[in-house]
Structure 1
Amino acid sequence: MAHNPYAPGYAPPQVAHHEWRTAENSAAYLLPSLRTMAASTPHLKLLDVGAGSGTISASLAAYIPLGTVTATDISSDILTRAAEHAKKVGVTNITFQAADIYALPFEDETFDIVHASMVLSHLDDPVQAYREMLRVTKSKGGLVANRESDLRMWSYYPELPGIKQFHEILLATMKAGGGNVDAGARLVAWAMQAGARRERIEAGMGTWMYSTVEERAMWGGTIAERIRNGGMREKALEMGIATEADLEAMAQAWAEWQAAEDACHGMMHGEILIWK
């Protein structure tokens, strides 16, 4: 069965935001359990699915110095970049392997922890992805950890019309591409459909906030570039829901937001721990 492609792609503006992510700002919900498991089982095996350029993978590896991390992605090219990042930060207990989340190339019960961040929201069959993640997780004490955006839940200031229009177009193009704008709220449902028992699931919500000069430059700047050059732009024009002028106005609105000293932007994410 053919599945939808990864719509955002790996263009530099998209990757720039991915490389802002770390275990601390994107997997804090997992870290207490990771520390506890590492204390009792130092040689943990962790799988990071859809690792992209590997900044989360490498920072997770630092928490299990005697363990190993296997980072996978469908793109071999982005894994090359991930390997370069790991080398740059001095992480050696990590390997990289191209893999399809729908058919992970590992035996049953291979890993102590399986982690994915901002992956299932882009999939047309997240339940099958959970089945695979659960399959390769050890049955006794194993853990699946996942964090996904709920793209409906944005809070920002100043409330510029161009940002409001961008948000509406982002939701529309995400749906049209086969993704899930409400993924953060559906993690428990997907996990249960994949066979997880409700009493073995811990669910919560986390946030990202962009407000400092550096955060605004990273977020506002990368979005403006994505509007001018990314896959969302092409999809919006193809669907006829935005014109070239509309898109340029959106990019300029993000530049205005980035320049405002009192600007902020918050996003909500669903977080789930599934214990086997």
Structure 2
Amino acid sequence: MADQSSQKPAAQWTHHEIRTAENSAAYLLPKIQSIKQVNPNLTILDVGAGSGTISITLARAIPDGHVTATDVKTDILLRAQAISEQECVKNIEFLEADVFKLPFADGTFDITHCHQVLCHLKDPWDALREMLRVTKPGGLVAAREGDVQTECVWPETPGLVKFHDFIAKFIPLSGGSAMAGRQLLGWALKAGAQRNKVTASFGTWSFCEEAEKKIWAQQMAKIIRAGRIRDTGLKSGFSTEDELEEMAKAWEEWEGTDDATLAMMHGEIIVQK
């Protein structure tokens, strides 16, 4: 998945848990390696860490440093803690925290990072402003966000076209943006960053191999058939029961198709404070 990670996904993982620093923060890793040469004890804050697989691989990249991973959901942090213990990664801690009100003093961290967080927020520039606040002068704020409108999938069956249209409507309905990746630079400037201190780039996620296609397709079918996405789709009138089931079956059929592929563009920024 994504940026050609060499790691093989385990079949039991969710689509969130195949994310690593190598396949989801590759744009940031050279900066980390450079800083580590000067300051091996660097500190990283990973905001909206979810189940922590990116945070944990960031911690592995700085064995003499420390990662603080935050999320607003207690249950997902418990999952992240369990994964870190399973992976024997000790230079990391998990805390419940709101990205808009981070419980840290000004200038606490060398690097503050988030992945697939800002796309879900109504005022993402306020979150970036808070991330900048807790970052040391001269430190870095890094963000990578998907751009759902750039998703391309093959075979392009009617059920998958319906799903793309549905999810593009769903994300803004909950306050987020289906075009987050292309707006990252603008959000950083709105947060107060100086243009000459922001590096913008783009990367991709891709799912082409059997194991990763299985993880993605089965998770998509699962969230379509149960949970918030399904409930919101029905309540808003965006989809009917039959249409949702058509989308779920389309993903299951896609998984078993030899020429099935999927990719999505992601925007990336690194801001020097």
Shift of 1:53: 0.5
1:158 aligns with 2:151: no
**1:155 maps to amino acid:** C
**1:160 maps to amino acid:** T
Stretch of structure 1 that moved more, 45-54 or 224-233: 224-233
Shift of 1:39: 1.0
Pick aligned residue for 1:100 from 98, 101, 105: 98
Corresponding residue number in structure 2 for 1:188: 185
Shift of 1:82: 0.5
Shift of 1:17: 1.4
Encode CA deviations 1:186-245: one digit per residue, 9 max, x unaligned.
111111111100000000111110011101100111001111013111111111121101
Q: Distance in 2 between matches of 1:47 and 1:165?
A: 37
Shift of 1:180: 0.7
1:35 aligns with 2:47: no
The 5 A counterparts of 1:1-276 are 16-139=14-137, 141-276=138-273
SS of the aligned residue for 2:103 comes to coil
Consecutive unaligned residues of structure 1, counting only runs of 5 or more, are: 1-14
SS of the aligned residue for 1:268 comes to strand
SS of the aligned residue for 1:19 comes to helix
**2:201 maps to amino acid:** G
CA RMSD of aligned residues (A): 0.8
**1:108 maps to amino acid:** D
Q: Distance in 1 between matches of 2:212 and 2:252?
A: 13
Shift of 1:45: 0.6
Corresponding residue number in structure 1 for 2:8: none
Q: Distance in 2 between matches of 1:234 and 1:167?
A: 17
Q: Distance in 1 between matches of 2:201 and 2:67?
A: 25
Q: Distance in 2 between matches of 1:247 and 1:169?
A: 9
Shift of 1:173: 1.1
Encode CA deviations 1:82-123: one digit per residue, 9 max, x unaligned.
111011111000011100000000000000000000000000
Q: Distance in 2 between matches of 1:149 and 1:221?
A: 20
Q: Distance in 2 between matches of 1:24 and 1:68?
A: 18
Aligned length: 261
**1:253 maps to amino acid:** A
Q: Distance in 1 between matches of 2:178 and 2:95?
A: 28
Corresponding residue number in structure 1 for 2:5: none
**2:215 maps to amino acid:** M
Return structure 1 stretches of 4+ with deviation > 2 angstroms. Answer: none
**1:111 maps to amino acid:** F
Q: Distance in 2 between matches of 1:88 and 1:183?
A: 33
Q: Distance in 2 between matches of 1:219 and 1:60?
A: 23
